[in-house]
Structure 1
Amino acid sequence: MARLSRGDPSLLRRLNVVAVLRSLYDAGELTLTELVKASEVSRPTVEEIIADLEEQGLVVEVTVQPGAPRPVGRPAKRYRFRENAGCLAGLDIGPHKVLCLVSDLRGEIVGSARVDVRPEMSAAQRLAAAHSAVKEATGGRRVRVLGVGTTGIVSAGKVVRSDRLPDWEGVDLVAELGSGRPYPVLAGNDTKLATLAEHWRGAAHDTGDVIYLLVGRSISVGVLLGGKIHKGYNGGAGEIGVLRQLGWHTALDGFLSYGKDDPASGPSSEAAKRVFDAVRAGDPGAAAIVQAFVADLATGVAATVLTVDPQLVVIGGGLSQAGDLLAEPLRAELARLCLFPVQVETSVLGDESVALGAVRLALDHVEAELFGVAGAVGRPGGEV
């Protein structure tokens, strides 16, 4: 990544490098004259910095395409940031799937791979699936950072609690996925990373205080405060589902009974779809299932809303497919239970939210390397 040039460690030099690189990153491409103006750095210094950044592979001169109109006189040199100078990988390791999304250095998704897994798999088998997904998705590209999201409480890159995958507890994700590889691994809880994704590219974009519900085969909560994920002292913020009195561990059983799915596996997306399709068709039994589910869900959500006072509640995970069939009754219940009405929306990110949040985690690390004035960056084992 961008480094201090030619042994010059001065703060001014670093500020100039950041100003030039940020200008190109934000603008796409600029002439040398435009770059001098945008960065407010002298032309000789810009030229020197550009030469260094070209050497590092982060900047490239834009060549005139064959057949393109040529300006009169000598054409001005143009430069652009090389977003393909490596890639970022975001990995979602769950009970039923391992999903890897790959982005360029601007965060645009350029590849993906999915491997189906089972809850009863050993940690070694699940890690093998993760390695396979990363290899397939990256396709030989140079990986700059790998972000990882998984179920359970993650601290210092290690899964310290995991109720859904007992064999997963104690797994050091940084060591297992980063050992012998030339890139850092950053690990975090899946719900918190899904919350990060929702703030980045979902319903919570540009919203500072958010409660995110990951509702699929289980229910969990992510909390965003002031635009930042709230982790808590032990990394367990939002884990209110462990309170058996809330009934969240049985709240989804109605979908199973209607869809006749195996209760041990948790409600499939097909079972939930059947229920909501039946609601749309006017089935009172299906409507009663949704009503009971919302009543169970609302108590825990209301407690969190009353504690945090968010601008927005986002429903993510598999049941977000229900849209307003779930959002409207939850909105009504929260209005009844809480001091102030709260906006409730459903996510449009689908089952890619965790992997997308892992990409965002990796991108935050890269941006700190590129644009951090002090040159300080996250360390392997960083987390959300």
Structure 2
Amino acid sequence: MSQIDPGTSSWLRTRNDREALRLFLDHGPLTRTRLGELSGMSKPTATQMIARLERADLVTPVGEVAGSRGPSAVSWGVRGDRVNGVAVNMLDDSIQAVLVDATGIEHPIVDLPVAGERRSPETDIGRAVEAACAAAGSDRATVEAVTVGVQAAVSRDRDELSLTDSLPGWPSTGSRSRIETALGVSVTLENDVNLATMAERAVGVAQDVDSFAFLWVGVGLGVGVDLGGTIHRGAHGSAGELGYLTVSAGTGDPGAVTTDLLGSQVILSLLGNPRGSYPRDVLALADDAAAMRTVAERIALTIEPVLVVLDPAMIVLGGPTSLAGGALLAELVAARAAIGERPAPVIRLSGTGESAVLVGARRLLVEQIRIRLEEHIPTD
């Protein structure tokens, strides 16, 4: 976008049009009268803003609103087919993906198996984008941004991935740039637990706390740390990789790590079903009192360093194992994590459910898409 001198008529028009677009995005379809009320502009000015946004293919008439007197008023809404994104969650045995548009409308989530597939960053994400667009009935050409949740430590500045064994075919360096070059889209790679943590802050149980830690208990372990609404990633993107923490209690192995206490195969064995399918068969946890107590004790042990070092206002339990244990598991963990004179920590079950990673990715993408839409506003 070219530089516009502040205070000129072009600058004022662009500023007004951006404000109008944000109002459409925040409030949904609006009439000329309602846009004028929300923006503080006169009806003629509101009409001009709508006309300019319509010429830029950013808004379109979407219906009519009946008035108490006189003819019905036309309402305009943001075009959901102008700029889109795709949210991706890289799992051990599949890839989840969903189309994201500026309006935040829910689109179908697709789940792509990866067994037997040729794997690479660009191949995996290319499949995900194509499938998400097909499921939503959207043109692939509208996709300009992709956010990918990965089970890895992500150093975004250096485009590096580390501490992962779930991304076959993905190099430790350069995965993001390979996807961007091959697909022609802007790519954000982010640790999956960090994305789930963002979702919990935005729409889950941690919306009103100053700080919290999100413990993901799934195939592996990880913790997302939110300090005042900001994710703490560490110097190399590896903050929160709790699954690599050495802990001998409960294992008999002085070299054991926390994943040896709470990894998916360990949980299935506790339930007497070591050959079971995860996460489906872990749902039996809710009906196994002995296993529930053991899992609660192990989670309390695992979060001890988090409580001592960070002292967060809340610990949120997420991931398939935590969701299977439900609110009762959170209560059992809180009781076991109370030590000495220290107050019992506030432990809550995640409010974002099974799709927490995609919810977090969608939140990032919606804002990116809105910024890109603003860039389509004419400046002269």
Give TM-score scaled by structure 1 length.
0.80
Report deviation, 1:123. Answer: 4.1
The answer on 1:364 being equivalent to 2:367 is: yes
Is residue 211–residue 305 contact of structure 1 (8 Å, CA) maintained in 2?
Answer: no
Structure-2 residue corresponding to 1:305: 307
Q: What secondary structure does 1:313 align onto?
A: strand
Q: Distance in 1 between matches of 2:245 and 2:216?
A: 16
Which stretch shifts more, 334-343 or 304-313? 334-343
When residues 303 and 14 of structure 1 are mapped into structure 2, their CA distance, relative to the original with a 3 A threshold, is farther
Answering whether residue 343 of structure 2 is matched by residue 323 of structure 1, we say no
Cα distance between partner residues in 1 of 2:271 and 2:111: 29
1:135 partnered with 2:117: no
1:36 Cα deviation after fit:
1.8
Aligned to 2:24: 24
Q: How many residues align?
A: 353
Q: CA deviation at 1:98?
A: 0.7
CA contact (8 A) 1:294 1:330 kept: yes
Distance 1:361 1:309 in 2: 27
Q: Within the alignment, does 1:273 sit opposite 2:283 as a pair?
A: yes
**Map of 1:380 onto structure 2:** none
Distance in 2 (alpha carbons) for counterparts of 1:61 and 1:275:
51
Mapped partners of 2:125, 2:70: distance in 1? 55
- 1:111 is matched with 108
Q: Which residue of 2 aligns with 1:162?
A: 163
Corresponding residue for residue 250 of structure 1: 260
Give the root-mean-square deviation of aligned CA atoms: 3.2
User: 1:39-58 to 2 correspondence within 5 Å?
Assistant: 39-58=39-58
Matched with 1:381 is none
Match of 1:212 in 2: 214
Moved more, 342-351 or 69-78: 69-78
CA drift at 1:99: 0.3
Displacement of 1:299 in angstroms is: 2.7
1:334 deviation in Å? 2.2
SS of residue in 1 equivalent to 2:183: coil
| Counterparts in 2 of 1:25 and 1:325: CA distance versus 1, 3 Å | same
Residue 15 of structure 1: CA displacement? 2.9
Q: Is contact 1:306–1:339 with CA below 8 Å preserved after alignment?
A: no
Instruction: Pick the aligned partner of 1:353 from 356, 371, 376.
Output: 356
TM-aligned CA distance change 1:350 to 1:46, over 3 Å: same
Assess, with a 3 A threshold, how the Cα gap between structure 1 residues 339 and 80 changes in structure 2: closer, same or farther.
Answer: same
CA–CA separation in structure 1 for the residues paired with 2:167 and 2:29: 50
1:259 and 1:274 in contact (8 A); partners too: no
Match of 1:222, SS?
strand
- Residue 259 of structure 2: SS of its match in structure 1? coil
C-alpha distance 254-46 of structure 1, shift in aligned 2 (>3 A): closer
Name 2:335's counterpart in structure 1.
Answer: 332
Q: Deviations over 1:42-96 (max 9, x none)?
A: 54443333222112222123444xxx96875454443223345443311001222
Instruction: Give me the whole-angstrom Cα distance separating, in 1, the residues matched to 2:332 and 2:247.
Output: 22
Counterparts of 1:60 and 1:223 in 2: how far apart (Å)?
41
Deviations 1:180-228 (A, max 9, x none): 4343111101110111122223232344422101111111100111122
Deviations 1:306-347 (A, max 9, x none): 332322211111112210332111111222368333321222
**Which whole-Å deviations, capped at 9, do the CAs of 1:2-56 have from their partners, x for residues lacking one?**
x98xxx7965444322321222222223322321221123544433332221122
**Contact residue 16 and residue 41 of structure 1 kept, 8 A:** no
Counterparts of 1:53 and 1:338, CA distance in 2: 61
Task: With the length of structure 2 as denominator, give the TM-score of the two structures.
Answer: 0.80
Deviation larger for 299-308 or 216-225: 299-308
Which one-letter code corresponds to 2:326 in the other structure? Answer: G
Deviates more, 1:337-346 or 1:229-238: 337-346
The CA distance in 1 between the partners of 2:231 and 2:341, in whole Å, is 23
Structure 1 pair 122–155 and aligned structure 2 pair: CA distance change class (3 A): farther
The alpha-carbon distance between structure 1 residues 61 and 258, as it changes in their structure 2 partners (threshold 3 A), is closer
